[in-house]
Structure 1
Amino acid sequence: MSAGSAARPGPSASSAAGAGAAGPGARSAARLLTDLQQRYRDAERATEAYNATTEKLGRQRAEVARLDGKLVRARLSLRDSRGAAGRLARQQYRSSSGVSSYVRLLLTRDLQRALDEGQVIRQVSRERARTMDRLAGSERHAAGLARRARKALDDRLSLAARQRKERDQVQDRLKKVEKLLASLTARQLSALDALEKRGTETAQRKLVTSGALSGVRAPSPQGQEAVEYAVRQLGKPYQWGGAGPKSYDCSGLTSQAWGHAGQPIPRTSQEQWARLPRIPLSELRPGDLVVYFPEATHVALYVGDGKVVQAPRPGTRIKVSPIAANPVLGAVRPDPAAKPVRRYTPPATAAAATDVRDGNAR
């Protein structure tokens, strides 16, 4: 990835430009920042779509394996049923003389023996009927499983094709980012960096002064574990589709942090936003997830004091950032019923870490 220094912008480029110097240079930087913002969002949207398809593909592979196993067992059962039906047919054939039981009863000299034989024959006939019913049921079951297994395999192949297509889309969008960054001069990159920083500071100041953020709150036990896990990943590189242990994307970091804490959550930022309980920003506590952008294409882990741990974008490293580094959509809590710990000391690294320049973090 190109070593351009522009971090993923949070506030809009126009508001950031308004907070800084005006003039042609500022307007040009604002246009560049807007373009870069859009390309990063396109790349992250494609990445989260890829992640979602990858998750579905994993589940579908497991379903194919499950149905294949059931189909093998059903076919073994069908073979056993056919064997039992064959044995009963041969037994009935050997016991049958071709004379009806009524005629044998008239001609026999041993009435009791004839009655007993008739009872045995009727019992064998009933057993054969039950066996044939089981055989028919086994055949229907095996045929149904075969159809389901074929459909599951077709679905898996379709998902694999979609995954490849989405992978190509991610790579295409990242190439567009690289192309733009490669076209910028050092002065332009510096201007973008300064503009983005001013925009983040302005957005953070507005959020804090509005009273939207809560005071100091303690996390739940699992939330504390999630925070500690995320903090231990500081400095590791962003990698689209990454879920550790050496690199992460945004939702890979949050899902792994909570999974490590013993609370599995959805893999993608959209699913985390859609399926986890939402909370107002005023109730944020460490461990909660902050979701960004209207389409929920970015997510970070709240660590307290108005800051989050995030895997920002390709070319950067995991870091602590102001919560307003991106436009906030809302927040969710993976463990809403859990009570906070009695005593909580924020991780020293989280308290001391700053939103370092991406040019130095790469």
Structure 2
Amino acid sequence: MGPGKRGLFAAAVAVVCAVTVLGAPGMAFARPEPSPSATATTSPDLTLPPSRDLEAVREKLDTLYHDAAVATDAYNAAEEAAKKQSAEIVALAQKIVEGQERLADLKDRAGAAARSQYRTGGLPDEAQLMLSDDPTEFLDGAGRILQGQQATKGLIAELTRTQQDLEQYSQDASAQWAELEANRKAKASAQKKIEKQISAAEKLESQLEKKEKERLAELQKQADQKAQTAWLDTGILDEIDGRASEQGRKAIAYATAQIGKPYEWGAEGPKSYDCSGLTSEAWKSAGQQIPRTSQEQWKQLPHVDIEDMRPGDLIIYFDDASHVALYVGDGRIIHAPRPGRTVTLAGAGTMPILAVVRPDA
């Protein structure tokens, strides 16, 4: 095996090894594109507000969990892209291995042609004609030689193309691996951010006494009711009268069956979910593949006016599209709220609505 062949074979092995690493649990990497808040490194403020103002505590917790949701979207985007990238790397590895086998076959055929020429002494056609006892036999043979020369030229051209393809595959594999390594760090950063924000929220809550926690839950309930009432008072439900499509009904049925299951960042069932894990799996069960993250659902799926909303549509929340829920009708949604809570039925107006998107438009 020549130096060039050894180098290409090594590249193939490297790609296969990379794919093996990517296939390991928790080791699928790809480049997320987090917003600045998803990569912030400042430490959360864990001190209780003066006089233990529970409304201020509630707002601080909302901020911490919101930042965790943004980082979770970045993490999920990395996971989603990793699946596609891993498939591309597997295809590259297969091309390299197949190309190596093809190159070896072509070299064997070229060697056989060279040995055949050596056996004829490499004499020019004119000399072979003069030395031949039977000119007719020679002319017949010359025709075959001409065909053989043309075949050899084709062989050499194919061998060159195969070599060039292998070199390109090798370069592509090296570039992919370098990108994956950079993306691994980006994904790890997003995970660190998620864990930090959730841990900060849990520590803040742990400083509260039992009665304070109960009061905090009541304050959250009141805030949700106030926001929902304000939304309904706009008369929006008088304008929303769309009916669910067949796929929409299937997505709603799936989401309804998940009520009560815990929220877990990065999860997409069947035992736990994050917000976009729930919506993407609900629509997957209805036969519609949609983007994994709330931000990509907002970017890629067709938008509809809120007045035209129908059950089964997805409502995207907050100005950074960091939360998503499934609209089920009558001004209600099913969603996976945040850590420490479960998949639940809630008012569609309890959070600021950014947009409505339709997976089966």
Match 2:314 to one of 285, 289, 305: 289
Q: Distance in 2 between matches of 1:335 and 1:124?
A: 60
Matches within 5 A, 1:157-196: 157-196=181-220
Report whether the alignment pairs 1:262 with 2:272. no
**What one-letter code is carried by the residue in structure 2 that aligns with 1:262?**
G
Q: Distance in 2 between matches of 1:220 and 1:36?
A: 37
Moved more, 264-273 or 83-92: 83-92
Q: Distance in 2 between matches of 1:165 and 1:266?
A: 22
Match 2:255 to one of 230, 245, 249: 230
Note the alpha carbon deviations across 1:108-161, whole angstroms, 9 max, x for none.
Answer: 453322322322222222211111111111111111112212222332333333
Determine if contact 2:92/2:169 at 8 Å carries over to the other structure: yes
Determine if contact 1:216/1:305 at 8 Å carries over to the other structure: no
Aligned residues: 312
**What one-letter code is carried by the residue in structure 2 that aligns with 1:141?**
D
Matches within 5 A, 1:40-55: 40-55=65-80
Note the alpha carbon deviations across 1:146-183, whole angstroms, 9 max, x for none.
Answer: 22122223323333332222222211111111111112
**What one-letter code is carried by the residue in structure 2 that aligns with 1:49?**
A
Moved more, 324-333 or 147-156: 147-156
Specify whether residues 26 and 276 from structure 1 end up closer, same or farther in structure 2 by C-alpha distance, changes over 3 A only: farther
Q: Distance in 1 between matches of 2:71 and 2:276?
A: 13
Match 1:59 to one of 49, 70, 84: 84
Determine if contact 1:291/1:331 at 8 Å carries over to the other structure: yes
Report whether the alignment pairs 1:271 with 2:299. no
Matches within 5 A, 1:13-24: none
User: Which residue is 1:346 aligned to?
Assistant: none
Q: Distance in 2 between matches of 1:323 and 1:107?
A: 97
Match 1:111 to one of 135, 142, 153: 135
Q: Distance in 2 between matches of 1:42 and 1:288?
A: 25
Moved more, 279-288 or 183-192: 183-192
Specify whether residues 141 and 161 from structure 1 end up closer, same or farther in structure 2 by C-alpha distance, changes over 3 A only: same
Structure 1: any 5+ residue segments left out of the alignment?
Answer: 1-23, 337-362
User: Which residue is 2:343 aligned to?
Assistant: 318
Report whether the alignment pairs 1:124 with 2:141. no
> What is the CA distance between 1:279 and its match in structure 2?
1.0
Q: Distance in 2 between matches of 1:84 and 1:278?
A: 59
Match 2:160 to one of 136, 143, 150: 136
Structure 2: any 5+ residue segments left out of the alignment?
Answer: 1-48
**What one-letter code is carried by the residue in structure 1 that aligns with 2:215?**
A
Report whether the alignment pairs 1:219 with 2:244. yes
User: Which residue is 1:203 aligned to?
Assistant: 227
Q: Distance in 2 between matches of 1:136 and 1:183?
A: 71
Determine if contact 1:242/1:249 at 8 Å carries over to the other structure: yes
Determine if contact 1:92/1:121 at 8 Å carries over to the other structure: no
Determine if contact 2:240/2:306 at 8 Å carries over to the other structure: no
Determine if contact 1:310/1:319 at 8 Å carries over to the other structure: yes
Any idea what SS the aligned residue of 2:69 has? Answer: helix
**What one-letter code is carried by the residue in structure 1 that aligns with 2:90?**
A
User: Which residue is 2:174 aligned to?
Assistant: 150
Determine if contact 2:232/2:349 at 8 Å carries over to the other structure: no
Note the alpha carbon deviations across 1:279-303, whole angstroms, 9 max, x for none.
Answer: 1111111111011111000000011
Moved more, 170-179 or 200-209: 200-209
**What one-letter code is carried by the residue in structure 2 that aligns with 1:248?**
Y
> What is the CA distance between 1:38 and its match in structure 2?
0.6
After superposition, the CA RMSD in angstroms is 2.0
> What is the CA distance between 1:106 and its match in structure 2?
4.2
Determine if contact 1:57/1:159 at 8 Å carries over to the other structure: no
> What is the CA distance between 1:63 and its match in structure 2?
1.3
Any idea what SS the aligned residue of 1:136 has? Answer: helix
Any idea what SS the aligned residue of 1:37 has? Answer: helix
> What is the CA distance between 1:196 and its match in structure 2?
2.4
**What one-letter code is carried by the residue in structure 1 that aligns with 2:175?**
K
Q: Distance in 2 between matches of 1:30 and 1:117?
A: 99
Note the alpha carbon deviations across 1:11-44, whole angstroms, 9 max, x for none.
Answer: xxxxxxxxxxxxx999933322221111010111
Determine if contact 1:60/1:155 at 8 Å carries over to the other structure: no
Any idea what SS the aligned residue of 1:324 has? Answer: coil
Could you state the TM-score of these two structures normalised by the residue count of structure 2? 0.82
Determine if contact 1:89/1:128 at 8 Å carries over to the other structure: no
Q: Distance in 2 between matches of 1:316 and 1:74?
A: 53
User: Which residue is 1:253 aligned to?
Assistant: 278
> What is the CA distance between 1:107 and its match in structure 2?
5.2
